[in-house]
Amino acid sequence: MAEIDQDRWKSAYLSEIRRYAAETPGRVLNTVYFGGGTPSLMQPDLVGAILDEVRKSWRLSNSLEITLEANPTSVEAGRLRGYRDAGVNRISMGLQALNDADLRALGRLHTVAEAKKALETAQSTFDRVSFDLIYARQGQTLADWRTELTEALTMAGDHLSLYQLTIEDGTAFGDRFARGLLRGLPDEDLAADMYDLTQEMCDNNGLAAYEVSNHALPGGESRHNLIYWQAGDYLGIGPGAHGRMTLNGLRHATDTPLAPTEWLQAVESKGNGELSRSPLSPSDQQGEYLMMGLRLKGGISRDRLFALQQNPDLLNRIKDMEDEGLLESSSQTIRATDRGRPVLNAVIRELLV
């Protein structure tokens, strides 16, 4: 990290925080999330300076959640204590697998031993620590996943993210699959069995799914991610960050350059790190609300969905999904059923035709 000018980055982050604060006066800030890439390589002093500026810029929720993503290869006790002293109160750690061969296949640089040590260090420093695993991996059997999840549940705190490995074009896994590097993936039936087993075991351990891939003790939900899923406002600051911001009654999507040096130079030269800011149409907002909100076990508000725009075709498609037993509705909510949740991506594709 010697080659990275932390003071230069600090100036850029503080400048962007001040710019956004001037646009959103009087707002209440509920969460801060240091994510994307390897934020645990940031110096604690830099994290502290960012949080000091955040505290000066907005009114803060009494239950402010400040999460930092930590890489198991860059977790040190002293550094974690520095983050805690700066104000971070939650850690999210990317373990991904409890099997060294699978970690290598996933392209991870840490070992299981390093991951466990890092997790123990984090849990001894913070009250709230989440970690994630990927299942339905190459060559993985149902018994393999049962054994791994059993171990994971003994290690878990108040939150656990369990993602089924999916192959999508344009993603790292999609690229590996296209190059023939992901042979031996479970078929759909086995992957479905793994999903069902995940729900059963987590429920039995008090970590119920509140979102398709996220499980928590009551009160342990990720408040930051809930903002995404409930279509709240969030500011995206830093390289590759996306945001959603409502100004004068109009909701906007923002994004920033993915390349770190490009973002840094934009802030320094123009005083603005945004790559674009686009108003979202009612149709765009309705689609986003459906796509994100149906991931939640509690589903979405029917009134909010159709207040964005009246859409008879969408209403008919929802009724079709209800007839197939994939969605269920009340006068207040629309949610995926237990049958619909494992195939939610397909359900959403049908709704957004």
Q: CB-based burial of residue 242 (10 Å sphere; 0-12 exposed, 13-18 middle, 19+ buried)?
A: middle
What global pTM score does this model have? 0.93
Each residue's pLDDT tens digit, 308-321: 999 999 999 999 99
Query: How high is the pLDDT of residue 22?
Result: 98
Q: What is the DSSP string of 250-270?
A: EEEEEE--SSHHHHHHHHHHH
Chain centroid, CA 120 distance in Å: 22
> Are β-strands 90-96 and 59-70 bridged in parallel, bridged antiparallel, or unpaired?
parallel
Each residue's pLDDT tens digit, 174-219: 566 666 666 678 888 999 999 999 999 999 999 999 999 999 999 9
Query: How high is the pLDDT of residue 182?
Result: 63
Each residue's pLDDT tens digit, 38-75: 777 789 999 999 999 999 999 999 999 999 999 898 78
Q: Which domains does the chain have, with CATH numbers?
A: 28-228 (3.30.750.200), 232-351 (1.10.10.920)
Query: How high is the pLDDT of residue 174?
Result: 59
DSSP class of residue 27? P
| pLDDT > 70 in the chain, percent | 94
Closest by CA position to 121, among listed 158, 148, 82, 64: 82
Check pLDDT > 60 for residue 2: no
* Residues forming beta bridges with residue 66, ordered by sequence position: 32
Closest by CA position to 54, among listed 8, 14, 9: 14
**Residue 1's pLDDT band (cuts 50, 70, 90):** very low
* Residues forming beta bridges with residue 82, ordered by sequence position: none
Q: Is residue 331 classed as helix, strand or coil in its secondary structure?
A: coil
Which phi-psi region, left, alpha or beta, contains residue 218 (left: φ > 0; alpha: ψ -120 to 50)? Answer: beta
**Inter-CA distances, 129 with 22, 89, 156, 259, Å:** 33, 9, 8, 29
| Structure-token pair, residue 95 | 């373990």
Outline where DSSP puts E strands in 195-311: 208-211, 214-216, 242-247, 250-255, 276-279, 300-301
> How many residues are given for the chain?
353
Amino acid at 163: Y
Rounded Cα distance, 215 and 206, in Å: 9
> Are β-strands 327-329 and 333-336 bridged in parallel, bridged antiparallel, or unpaired?
antiparallel
Of residues 84 and 180, more confidently modeled: 84
Amino acid at 349: R
pLDDT (mean) for 144-148 = 97
Check pLDDT > 60 for residue 156: yes
